[in-house]
Structures are given as C-alpha cells and as structure tokens.
Copies of this chain bind each other. A is one copy, B any other.
Amino acid sequence: MLEKRKPIPVGEAVQRVMEYAFQEKKELVPLLQAHGRFLAEDVAADADVPAFDRSPYDGFAIRSVDSNDASSENPVTFKVVGEIGAGFVFEDTVGQLEAVRIMTGAPIPKGCDAVVMLELAHTFEENNEMYMSIKRTFEAGTNISYKGEDVQKGAILLEKGQYINPGAVALLATFGYDQVPVFRKPIIGVIATGSELLEPGESLQPGKIRNSNAYMMMAQIERAGATAKYFGKFSDDLNVCIDVVKNALEEVDLLITTGGVSVGDYDYLPAIYEAIEANVLFNKVAMRPGSVTTVAARGEKVLFGLSGNPSACFVGFELFVRPIIRTAFSNKQPHLRRESAVLGADFTKANPFTRFVRATVSYDNGQLVAVPSGFDKSSAVSSLVEANALIVLPGGSRGYEKGMQIDVLLLEDLQGSEWPWNNIVKSYK
C-alpha cells in the first residue's frame, strides 16, 4: 500500500540535479548596480595601469644622477623649474640640477627618473626663484610607478563567473566598464504546501502554524543571487494545484515547493509530478534532516520538493538549489564551501544516514571550531539564526566526540567549492 523508497547518497542526489544545470542569459547593468552580481564575460585590460610612468607621492621629480653626491654634510640644491598636477602633462625636458614639483598621480616629466618625497626636501625661495635641497642620494626608479606595472594591456583581469565585489567594481571602473555584462538573475518560484499554514500576517489558530519556510527560502534565494517569486499556498484541490504548478513553471526557471513530499496520504506532490509528467530524479536521500527531499524534472526545468520541516528545507535548499543557481552564473565553485574543523561539542546520536547539523563556526587562535547551534531537534527554528555552517557527520553506528576533526560546509562564504562531495559522505548501503 505504501510506496517503498530507496535512499541514494547525497553526492549522487546532487549530481542528478546538476545534470539539469543551465547558464543564464546576459544583461548589461550600470556599474553602480553591478556589486553582488556575477560577470557574464571575461574582462580584459583595455590599457596598461598605470597608463604612464607616474609619481605615487607628492614631491619633486629629479634626475637621480644629480643626487649622487648629496649627504647630510653636503646637501644638493635643485632649481624648481615648474610644477605638475595630476591630470596634467609637463611638456619640457628637465635638465641638470633642475626639479619639478610633482603631485601624486602625475606623469613623470621627461628626463626625470626619481621622485623625492616632499617630506625629504627642504624648500626655499631666493630672488623670486624656488629651490629645494636634499641630503641623500636617490637611485634611479625611486618612487616611480611604471607604466603597466600593475596591469598590462590585454591581460584578463576577471573571469566570467566572477562575483563582483568592491575590488572588482574598482577594476571595472578603471577599464571603462560603465555598463557591466552580468548574468541575469534566475527566477525561482516558491509554493508552500500544508493545510496547517497561516501567512505571517494572520493570527494563530488551534492546530495551525505560520508559514516560515517559504519566507526563509526566499531569503536564501536572494542570498544565493537569484530572484524569488512567491505563488502562495497550495489549495486543497489537487486539480487546482496541478494548474498552479503548470502555470508557475511558465514563469520561473526553477520551482520549489516546501512540504507535501512525505509518504503520508495527504501529501499529493507525487500525484502532481505524475499529472504534469515530470520525471522524478529521486525521492529519498540518505541524509538527515531532509531524507524525503524529492526532485523532479519536466523538460529542462527542475522542481524541488523540499521537506516541510524547517531545518530540512533549509539544508535542502543549500545542498540542491544553491549550486544550480550559482552554475547559472557560470561560477566554478557553485557548492557550499567545504572546510575541515574541530568539533566543539559531543554529538553522540548515531544515525545510519549522513547528518547535516546546523552549526556556528568560530576560530580558536585561527583554528576553525564548529559547535552545533542550540537545540537540535529538526523542527527547531531558532538555531537557524545562529548557524553559519553545517557540520557533516557521515552516517554510521557511532556518535562523534568533541575534539574530532570533521567537515563543515560554510553558509556565509562567497567562495564556494567546486565539488565538496568526494570522500566526505560514505555511501549508504
């Protein structure tokens, strides 16, 4: 009477989902809106940086050879023959024992090969002429930023798929990208299931709870870089649900439902998948929480059936949905970043399935330590706030003790992993 489901290992489940990964279209956005997006093209330098030899400091440009005899006992005096501000070009050639007052960023005048920092020059006026003297020698090249020493013309500066952080914005500005090619944000649909659900604005009623998963997930979607579209709650009428799913699929790139995937009689997501002729990729994963996670595909579009349990829903999103979003941005490390950490508390409960424990990672003298966040029954909502990582505990017959080396997946990281699932999770037999 009840369907028997065969659990598959997490890595295999992620792999089946990733077969449906796609790349988003490009769009151009103004530079001021590019922060937080992902580059849709390689960015190459259109010019050297610096574009000319320039002074990194305020001071005096000189011919270094003229400073050869300078010392405390024997200061050398230069005649100041001009000055040059950043943005301007000094047209003459500088001669013997001549100096040009130069501002930070200004081009080095012809003839000069060193800059004396302002603080090291003694300036004075005599007969309406300006002079400056120095008490040490300056080697050729002192305080000169050479053309192309930072970036050479033609160099690939940023690769397609790069996350645009403030430093990347600076580079884009430097190379004239006032419009930036970025990947469009995929649109991820969200539908909640459950007769027990109230929206956050509704008053509590006996037996009912407020819908938190859909809102949590919309924030996760935003954090992953995509746009969320909320379709509200499923009706109790199966045919209505089928229409809602069909219509939603027209408007979104991926569709997520929360709840309705258990083996219970009231959970008719399997019936919906059948009705819309979606191909179920898996409906049981060897993991806790979230073993009932179900993923189906209809044509090129993936339907994620996440558990209605808040932790399972949270974990399911990060493991299965996030990487497909990041891959749409051509990002090469679309999965959660995996690192090694010291377990900061006992976790004695053994489990045949791989367990993902919400955790707070911190540093003990630079060493990553992971402590399970608060109360850990899988229905707990409050520990989700503190969690900035998931501890991965491979399934087995024993618990884990404080001080053991374990793997963590970092939630608030921008870097990600290329494929975190090798040698991390034992296969479930």
Contact = CB atoms under 8 A, between A and B. Distances in A.
Nearest to A222: B35
B340 A385 contact: no
Nearest to A34: B219
A89 B166 contact: no
A107 B35 contact: no
Contacts of A209: 49-51, 105, 174
A296 interface: no
A246 interface: no
Interface residues of A, number: 117
Contact of A194 (B2, B86, B164): B86
Given A87-B194, A414-B412, A380 B150 contact: yes
A219 to B, nearest CB: 4
A320 interface: no
Given A199-B178, A216-B166, A216-B167, A405 B366 contact: yes
Contacts of A342: 366
B165 A385 contact: yes
Nearest to A177: B200
Contacts of A202: 176
Contact of A174 (B107, B166, B210, B308): B210
A217 B166 contact: yes
A299 interface: no
Contact of A31 (B34, B208, B215): B215
A68 interface: no
A279 interface: no
Nearest to A57: B262
B262 A104 contact: yes
A158 B203 CA distance: 21
A351 to B, nearest CB: 14
Given A170-B381, A201-B176, A219-B169, A264 B414 contact: no
- The secondary-structure label for the interface of chain A is loop
Interface stretch (A11-19, A134-142, A371-379, A391-399): A371-379
Given A105-B308, A174-B212, A204-B51, A382 B412 contact: no
A191 interface: no
A96 interface: no
Contact of A169 (B216, B378, B388): B216
A223 B170 CA distance: 14
Interface in A129-150: 145, 149-150
B166 A223 contact: yes
19 contacts: A32-B218, A36-B222, A49-B209, A49-B381, A56-B377, A85-B196, A86-B194, A86-B195, A86-B196, A89-B206, A104-B308, A150-B379, A162-B385, A165-B219, A166-B216, A173-B211, A173-B214, A366-B368, A366-B405
Interface of A: 1-2, 31-32, 34-36, 47, 49-52, 56, 58, 83, 85-89, 101, 103-107, 118-119, 123, 145, 149-151, 157-158, 162, 164-178, 194-197, 199-204, 206-220, 222-223, 228, 230, 262-267, 308-310, 314, 339-342, 363, 365-368, 375, 377-388, 405, 412-415
Q: What are the 7 A-B residue pairs with the smallest beta carbon separation, nearest first?
A: A167-B384, A87-B196, A87-B195, A170-B216, A86-B196, A178-B201, A166-B219
